[in-house]
Amino acid sequence: MACALASAVCYGTASVLQAVAARAAEPGTGSGVDPALLLRALRQWRYAAGLALDGIGFCLQVIALRSLPLYAVSAALAASLAVTAVVAARLLSVRLNATERGAVVTVCAGLAMIALASGPEGSRPGPPALPWLLLGAAGVILLTGALAGRLPGTARALLLGLGAGAGFGVVEISVRLIDSLAVPALFTDPALYALLLGGAAGFLLLTSAFQRGSVTVATAGMVLTETVGPALAGIAWLGDQPRDGLQWLAITGFTAAVVGALILTRFGEPPVGDGESPG
């Protein structure tokens, strides 16, 4: 659980840096998916620093995913919004009101309940077709992002956020499905390519959402799909279960962590005027 929480700290801090940088990047074509946007955003030092934190967070996330149920890791990653709120309050002089302070406490309490209720990682391998389904899902997510460019602002941001969360959810499930890191078996495993495509789709759609619409709306959509989807997949297909008699505590904790995170989604939004010119 320590690795999952450390990963949330990295992701939460990175989101503040990346949101500011994405808003400062040069506008592109207006498409929902703009691959060149990542290159333009990388010209902002904040985005590069955030990307480095994402890399560290991902390594910690992989360790957590190999030893904890998916619902526990998903809830811990949702707590990155609480980290984002605290970092924004400290670095960007954003004040937390009473509701938001309560949401931070709610997220922390939810994670504590999950930690108490979590059983061991499920041992089922999942359906044989699941890696291929995840690979196909990642492709659909990219297509959805491309179509999102035709929608009005709020709907576009929400769809891009939902797509980004789904892409990151594909990554979480794929990590669990990779049986061996030995070569050449690793490179013949469709779960590896689902992981790579899902991660690329998630980053691309989320960066586009940060630039092209309400970051609050996009982050809310991302939190929903990134937490609920993998949690359900882990329980339905991979054998993840809470400890006997503590199912109610796991459900309560998961719900509290997600609801608290949704209340805090506005902290993905950079303050007006805090951007910097490209270059």
Distance of alpha carbon 125 from alpha carbon 103, whole angstroms: 36
Per-residue pLDDT of 210-260, as tens digits, reads: 766 666 777 788 888 998 899 999 999 998 889 899 999 999 999 999 998
Structure tokens at 219: 């982050």
CA angle 88, 89, 95 (to 5 degrees): 125
> Which residues have C-beta within 8 Å of that of residue 2, sequence separation ≥ 6?
none
Residues of the chain with pLDDT > 70, as a percent, come to 84
The count of C-alpha atoms lying within 13 angstroms of the C-alpha of 235, restricted to the half-sphere facing its C-beta, is: 16
Distance of alpha carbon 206 from alpha carbon 163, whole angstroms: 8
Distance of alpha carbon 1 from alpha carbon 63, whole angstroms: 10
* Residue range 16-25: mean pLDDT, rounded: 70
More confident residue, 10 or 42: 10
Alpha-carbon distances of 230 from 70, 79, 93, 159, 270, rounded to whole Å: 6, 15, 34, 18, 28
* Residue range 70-96: mean pLDDT, rounded: 81
Looking at residue 256, what is its pLDDT?
A: 93
Looking at residue 57, what is its pLDDT?
A: 93
Residues of the chain with pLDDT > 90, as a percent, come to 34
Write out the DSSP string of 106-128.
Answer: HHHHHHHHHHHHB-PPP-----T
pLDDT over threshold 50, residue 272: no
Distance of alpha carbon 121 from alpha carbon 67, whole angstroms: 6
Phi, psi of 242 (to 5 degrees): -70, 175
pLDDT over threshold 80, residue 196: yes
More confident residue, 36 or 182: 182
At 275, the pLDDT band (50, 70, 90 cuts) reads very low
3-state secondary structure of 242: strand
Distance of alpha carbon 130 from alpha carbon 231, whole angstroms: 15
For the chain, the 3-state helix, strand and coil shares in percent, each to the nearest 5, are 75, 0, 25
